[in-house]
Chain A
Amino acid sequence: MKGGNAIRPLLQLLFYVEGDIDQLFVEKIIAPQMNIEPRVIPLKANFKSGKLASRKIRSALESKRKGYVDLIILIDSDADNYGKWNEETKKQRINQFSKEMGIKPNQFQDCISFAVIEIESWYLAGLDMNDRKKLGFKKSTPITDHISKQQFQSICNKKTDIPLYSEIIKHYNIQEARKNNASFDQFMNQIKDYLS
């Protein structure tokens, strides 16, 4: 290779997420846990158009198709409530994403995962009841599958800002999270299979 001591290829795994909080989750929790070094790229960057995101995903998929890079897309299920998340609503969400990105579902189906309902439920799932209390969360059920962003905000008792998410990360327990959130558990299994 020209000019360098590159001890690994530059880009091995591209990890597309929706926003900054998702990026933080993947970089601080998923990557160390799975012992991976992905480039985590938020699709909803400030003031950027959806067109740019779709072009980016298409390039990444083409690169994956050629075998240059692995690719994972993690998006929120955005279902109205957890009870409604099933194979049918999943298909609808895939179709919606497919339409937004201008790509056919069969091009990305094997590499897409969903945080149900939103990534905030995964954050909360990793805290045991003691830690939730310690961090000032209102009483909530251990299971977080039904937690949306709004519900997370309403039980957290304080501003949902970077210090709060960082504090959660500091106390995060993966096993607890897998126990408390089915979509997170499924995602962990999926990513393990995908990367093996």
Chain B
Amino acid sequence: MAGLKVFKHLSKPIPMSIATPRPFVLKSIRVSNYKSIDELHLDLEKVNVLIGRNASGKSNIVDVLKFLKDTIQEGIQPTVMRHGGTLGIQNILSTKKKTTIHLSGTFAPGFPIDATQSMGFHYELNFMALKTKKTVRITKELLKFIDHTTKEIKVEFIRNSTGKIRAKRKKIPSMQLPQNVSFLQVPFDTPLLMFRQAIEDIAIFNFNIQWMKEGIPIESTIDLEEDGSNLASVVSSIIKDDKSKRRFLHYVNYILGFVTDVSTQNILGSSHILAVKEKYSKEYLVTAPALSEGTLHIIGIIVAIKFQSASLVILEEPERYIHPSILKKIMAIIYEEQDNRQFLITTHSPELIENTFPDNVILVDRDKKGRTTIHHPANDQTVIQFIEDGFTLAELMVDNTL
């Protein structure tokens, strides 16, 4: 395709990728009546970069997945309240009463049903506000697993508006749940549990640099918090193992050439903070409060991209605090990692888009009525004409063509 010459550097992956299997691949998200979204169908690739003006709805697309994660952990009622309340969560201009979230994708062989082949899944959650507008109830929930080869439904769980759950093609006694409890909150069967874990494993990152600078209680964890506040603990776990420390430092040094070591320092015995050694001084450690925002952010991003167990990593505006030339390297390690996990990135950065394959760029926009719409610029004939004439998507974004 025209315009790909700028991506030559991506054809030479940097060494030492971590080959963790991808048990879960999200192929599409369909949403109706959620915040600025009236109807939206987004097919996902391995790398997906959402661009669009402020308030176009990029974060609302991410929020759909956050909503599902929160629903599983806290229940739908508190989740609705946390995400805008019964009025805020629905599209105010929509004529629809129900909100629907639909995910489809595949699980790797052996996960969760068949040991020999990958399995397709469809999950659907429907809910609506009750007349009082203060509470919501789930009107329908469905999860089914489909054999890719035969298209046969292997197992299906359906929950109706009264909370009754029945399973098809599996002998499980029907169950009754309260009206606002998702069956993923109480996963009573292995496929449900596996699907729940896959959703829980979606990692969403929107770092808060100030919190990353503060000391945190020492704990052993590999799961980085959404705001990055436990970065010191995660880095501490990574560098405990010599092999993973070497790999980690390789990526840090690839992007931040002046960093020779990353460690954590105890403060007051029970807390620790991140510390970095620079090539300019062999003894002196720069601790998190004195580190540049960019350095901390980049270390957080490396951890998010390469050192998390998530099958889907979502990065919200990773370009913050980062020099444009470094974004090229960030995108290089994302593409290097794309066979291990999926990425969904929101950005306003032309440099980041400059280093993204045009096919992976998704434009989020709003129509005349304010409804979020999506487009693939690389499929638009006029955009193709511009690209053939030597323009890049980034240039078209900056000059308002996109």
Interface of A toward B, CB cutoff 8 Å: 1-11, 14, 23, 37, 39-42, 45, 55-56, 58-60, 62-63, 66, 68-69
B375 touches A14 (CB 8 A): no
A2 touches B43 (CB 8 A): yes
Q: How many angstroms from the CA of A68 to the CA of B381 in the assembled complex?
A: 6
Q: How many angstroms from the CA of A77 to the CA of B116 in the assembled complex?
A: 72
A4 contact set on B, CB distance < 8 A: 41-43, 362, 373-376
Q: How many angstroms from the CA of A104 to the CA of B239 in the assembled complex?
A: 65
Q: Is B377 part of the contact surface with A, judged by Cβ < 8 Å?
A: yes
Given contacts A7-B367, A37-B368, contact A2 B379 (CB under 8 A): yes
Q: Is B167 part of the contact surface with A, judged by Cβ < 8 Å?
A: no
B377's partner among A5, A8, A10, A63 (CB-CB below 8 A) is A10
Find the residue from A4, A40, A55 having the highest chain B CB count within 10 A. A4
Q: Is B11 part of the contact surface with A, judged by Cβ < 8 Å?
A: no
5 pairs of A and B residues whose beta carbons are closest in the complex: A3-B43, A68-B381, A63-B385, A10-B375, A59-B389
A41 touches B401 (CB 8 A): yes
B380 touches A11 (CB 8 A): yes
B390 touches A41 (CB 8 A): no
A60 contact set on B, CB distance < 8 A: 382, 386
A55 touches B385 (CB 8 A): no
Q: How many angstroms from the CA of A1 to the CA of B43 in the assembled complex?
A: 10
Find the residue from B39, B379, B400 having the highest chain A CB count within 10 A. B400
Tally of contact residues, B, Cβ under 8 A: 31
Q: How many angstroms from the CA of A58 to the CA of B373 in the assembled complex?
A: 29
B385 touches A2 (CB 8 A): no
- Give the A-B pair count, Cβ closer than 8 A: 90
Q: How many angstroms from the CA of A27 to the CA of B373 in the assembled complex?
A: 19
Given contacts A4-B374, A41-B400, A55-B390, contact A68 B382 (CB under 8 A): yes
13 A–B pairs (Cβ distance < 8 Å), ordered by A: A3-B362, A4-B362, A6-B373, A10-B375, A10-B402, A41-B400, A41-B401, A56-B399, A60-B382, A66-B381, A68-B380, A68-B381, A68-B385
Q: How many angstroms from the CA of A55 to the CA of B389 in the assembled complex?
A: 8
A58's partner among B389, B399, B401, B402 (CB-CB below 8 A) is B389
Minimum CB–CB distance for A30 against chain B, Å: 15
A10 contact set on B, CB distance < 8 A: 363, 365, 375, 377, 379-380, 382-383, 402
Q: How many angstroms from the CA of A49 to the CA of B271 in the assembled complex?
A: 54
A63 contact set on B, CB distance < 8 A: 381-382, 385-386
Minimum CB–CB distance for B372 against chain A, Å: 9
A3 contact set on B, CB distance < 8 A: 28, 41-44, 362, 374, 376
Chain B minimum-CB-distance residue to A7? B373
A62 touches B389 (CB 8 A): yes
A68 contact set on B, CB distance < 8 A: 380-382, 385
B376 touches A2 (CB 8 A): yes
Q: How many angstroms from the CA of A68 to the CA of B379 in the assembled complex?
A: 12
Chain A minimum-CB-distance residue to B363? A10
Given contacts A37-B368, A39-B401, A55-B391, contact A5 B41 (CB under 8 A): yes
Chain B minimum-CB-distance residue to A61? B385
A42's partner among B362, B373, B379, B400 (CB-CB below 8 A) is B400
Chain A minimum-CB-distance residue to B32? A5
Q: Is B64 part of the contact surface with A, judged by Cβ < 8 Å?
A: no
Q: Is B40 part of the contact surface with A, judged by Cβ < 8 Å?
A: yes
B391's partner among A8, A14, A23, A59 (CB-CB below 8 A) is A59
Minimum CB–CB distance for B45 against chain A, Å: 8
B383's partner among A11, A23, A56 (CB-CB below 8 A) is A11
Q: How many angstroms from the CA of A157 to the CA of B272 in the assembled complex?
A: 61
A9 contact set on B, CB distance < 8 A: 380
Q: How many angstroms from the CA of A66 to the CA of B400 in the assembled complex?
A: 22
A66 touches B379 (CB 8 A): no
B382's partner among A2, A14, A40, A42 (CB-CB below 8 A) is A14
A1 touches B401 (CB 8 A): no
Find the residue from B42, B365, B399 having the highest chain A CB count within 10 A. B399
Residues of B149-169 at the interface with A, using a CB-CB cut-off of 8 Å, are none
Q: How many angstroms from the CA of A58 to the CA of B44 in the assembled complex?
A: 33
Q: How many angstroms from the CA of A37 to the CA of B373 in the assembled complex?
A: 14
Residues of B306-363 at the interface with A, using a CB-CB cut-off of 8 Å, are 362-363
Minimum CB–CB distance for B72 against chain A, Å: 26
Q: How many angstroms from the CA of A90 to the CA of B384 in the assembled complex?
A: 33
A69 contact set on B, CB distance < 8 A: 381-382
